[in-house]
Structure 1
Amino acid sequence: MKALVLSGGAGTRLRPITHTSAKQLVPVANKAVLFYGLESIAEAGITDVGMIVGDTAAEIEEAVGDGSQFGLKVTYIPQERPLGLAHAVLIARDYLGDDDFVMYLGDNFIVGGISGLVDEFRGNRPDAQILLTRVPDPRAFGVAELDPSGQVIGLEEKPDRPKSDLALVGVYLFTPLIHEAVRAIEPSWRGELEITHAIQHLIDSRADVRSTVITGYWKDTGNVGDMLEVNRMVLEGMDRRIDGDVDTASETIGRVVVEEGARIVNSRIVGPAVIGSGTVISNSYVGPFTSVAENCRITDSELEFSIVLRDSSIQGVGRIEASLIGRHVEVTPAPSVPSAHRFVLGDHSKVQITS
């Protein structure tokens, strides 16, 4: 069995971060989202991974390499443009051959991994197996319709009027029959080959399409709010570890990780939080659910429920919260300017000013 990992796409919902960085490499708890998925694939006993890459191919390849750091063998498959999930299957045909495979969206995060799902698929070997979860607003997702027995009878991509609240999670398992389906469908109104259409083709052909509804944690880390939420969840599962230098004037409370080479000076760190190697926190407060990557500087500031990427500095700006701060960013106070009011007032005006 192989894996097909999708690591292309423009990441428009995470701009401006993704103007200069692949969305799959934005870190949660100081580790790229993509790495969690690769670790899950390796834990499921899959070693051969085809990785779909686009405009950020060089960055993805630099981070993942040949996959050996994860116990994997990675082959890169270029996609000129993001033309849909089914298009990714189409261009990976030669790599996948006649093997069964799991398709994993590289910006998705699933607690507990996929080992159980893969074992279930290997044991029963339906033509396709999809993962579903209930969401409050399914209009932003592929949506599945089930009959009373739980059989999948229909799929829609981002419908205006969803027939259920069951959204497709970004993990799919297929036999080689899917290759016939992706060749049989036409592009959607979005100009993409939709995997939902390909699976619907299987359903219409009376193929064995099964679903598993998960109740555990899943997130598509496509926007800042979801990134911060995944970061919070991962940090909650971390154990306290102080490998860096914390001076006697500082205090660390709860599940705090201070990586080797980091320094905490006259500061207070309240976990869960992680401070990356080479980072210096001085005269500051770092609150819960915060990840600060390597080689950052936090001085005379307060930071909570945020992600700070590597080589950034925050100096003297008071309190920051619920923020995603990119690489090589400098945050400093604005220069003070005199306060003044300027008016052009017509006849008979009345003006009230709060000083």
Structure 2
Amino acid sequence: MVSRMKALVLSGGAGTRLRPITHTSAKQLVPVANKPVLFYGLESLADAGITDVGMIVGDTAAEIEDAVGDGSKFGLRVTYIPQEQPLGLAHAVRVARDWLGDDDFVMYLGDNFVVGGIRGLVEEFRRRRPDAQILLTRVADPRSFGVAELDPSGRVIGLEEKPDDPKSDLALVGVYLFTPAVHEAVRAVTPSWRGELEITHAIQHLIDTHADVRCTVIQGYWKDTGNVVDMLEVNRTVLEGVERRIDGDVDDRSETIGRVVVEEGARIVHSRIVGPAVIGAGTVVRDSYVGPFTSVAENCRITDSELEFSIVLRDSSIDGVGRIESSLIGRHVEVTPAPGVPSAHRFVLGDHSKVQIHS
């Protein structure tokens, strides 16, 4: 008999590394290729055959609920579980204890992005059913992550959270699979130096009590979209897979090259769009260039400007500012040229000074 699986999706957290965008928006809803990061995760859960999702929400609960609804548009049933303070991943499991019951579950961090989804991982877990299964990937600087130590046979023997002196370059990806055995482990842990109940400590407790903890080292693409650099990189990766589609209006003086998506209601006027790029519904691009790996959301205005390798959120305008690249521009933003200021030098020069000025 196949065990039932639920999913616990973490959608709280302050998103401090994506400020100022996340001062006014949930980090899980920042769009990649004009679709919120969270939605990719929900789609991958549905693809893996999971239908019951518990969504851990915090201060941005209303925004998350408005975006996700009851989950039916993803083929899911979503239950919202409030977490009053973001006190760690193990704390989230404690908070969700009643909803999880005695079912196996996937814990998925809502701002993580795994190319190719998790269907294979879920199938492997269902087949072998260890007490816990973690995903690992090799990273250049493990000090920012939970880090796993493996023995020569590839068995997990230790985990550390953000260590100063990592024992390996294997970082934990934000997807975990558990049987109900994890509940005793999360009850056993105490707050870390960060004041949080760490899931790494709970998994270490499982290891220390000789539970069956297994790992899968993924070779594919994974990103924690918690900062602007990673956000732009994920945007690039997703755009590489888009298919050309022109549903909006492109005038005779404009040129679209390669994998370009122009959504219905968008207008391209006397402009050049080089893909992969997505132009959202209702957006107008006029007398401008939009280059590769750029997502412009709905109802934006791009005029007399150049834009490349960037994300522009909805209802923003960029007018006459020359070239912008490698940028994340929020909602309802106006970018315009600064007023001209006469060039002048102002000095307080001591005796016997010598000044050279390059004008």
Q: Smaller-chain TM-score range?
A: over 0.9
What value does the CA root-mean-square deviation take over the aligned residues? 0.3
1:95 to 91, 99, 103: 99
Alignment of 1:40-55 (within 5 A): 40-55=44-59
CA distance in 2 between counterparts of 1:90 and 1:143 reads 23
Shift of 1:337: 1.0
2:236 to 232, 238, 242: 232
1:290-340 CA-partner distances (Å, limit 9, x unpaired): 000000000000000000000000000000000000000000000001110
Alignment of 1:124-163 (within 5 A): 124-163=128-167
Shift of 1:208: 0.1
Q: Partner of 2:269 in structure 1?
A: 265
CA distance in 1 between counterparts of 2:150 and 2:295 reads 40
Alignment of 1:162-181 (within 5 A): 162-181=166-185
Q: Partner of 2:349 in structure 1?
A: 345
SS at match of 1:238: coil
CA distance in 2 between counterparts of 1:349 and 1:92 reads 71
Q: Partner of 1:188 in structure 2?
A: 192
The answer as to 2:349 corresponding to 1:330 is: no
The answer as to 2:291 corresponding to 1:283 is: no
CA distance in 2 between counterparts of 1:340 and 1:149 reads 69
Q: Partner of 1:321 in structure 2?
A: 325
Alignment of 1:2-81 (within 5 A): 2-81=6-85
CA distance in 1 between counterparts of 2:74 and 2:225 reads 21
CA distance in 2 between counterparts of 1:83 and 1:229 reads 29
Count of residue correspondences = 355
The two structures have a TM-score, normalised by structure 2, of 0.99
CA distance in 1 between counterparts of 2:151 and 2:201 reads 18
CA distance in 2 between counterparts of 1:351 and 1:216 reads 57
Letter paired with 2:293: F
SS at match of 2:197: coil
SS at match of 2:126: helix
Give the 4+ runs in structure 1 shifted more than 4 A: none
CA distance in 2 between counterparts of 1:67 and 1:155 reads 34
The unaligned stretches of length 5 or more in structure 2 are none
CA distance in 1 between counterparts of 2:356 and 2:185 reads 68
Q: Partner of 2:306 in structure 1?
A: 302
The unaligned stretches of length 5 or more in structure 1 are none
1:93-151 CA-partner distances (Å, limit 9, x unpaired): 00000000000000000000000000000000000000000000000000000000000
The two structures have a TM-score, normalised by structure 1, of 1.00
Letter paired with 2:262: V
Q: Partner of 1:123 in structure 2?
A: 127
SS at match of 2:307: strand
Identity %: 88
CA distance in 2 between counterparts of 1:93 and 1:81 reads 16
The answer as to 2:235 corresponding to 1:211 is: no
Q: Partner of 2:224 in structure 1?
A: 220
CA distance in 1 between counterparts of 2:155 and 2:347 reads 68
SS at match of 1:212: strand
CA distance in 1 between counterparts of 2:237 and 2:105 reads 29
CA distance in 2 between counterparts of 1:129 and 1:327 reads 38
Letter paired with 2:249: D
2:116 to 89, 108, 112: 112
Q: Partner of 1:255 in structure 2?
A: 259
Shift of 1:261: 0.4
CA distance in 2 between counterparts of 1:226 and 1:155 reads 24
CA distance in 2 between counterparts of 1:187 and 1:85 reads 11
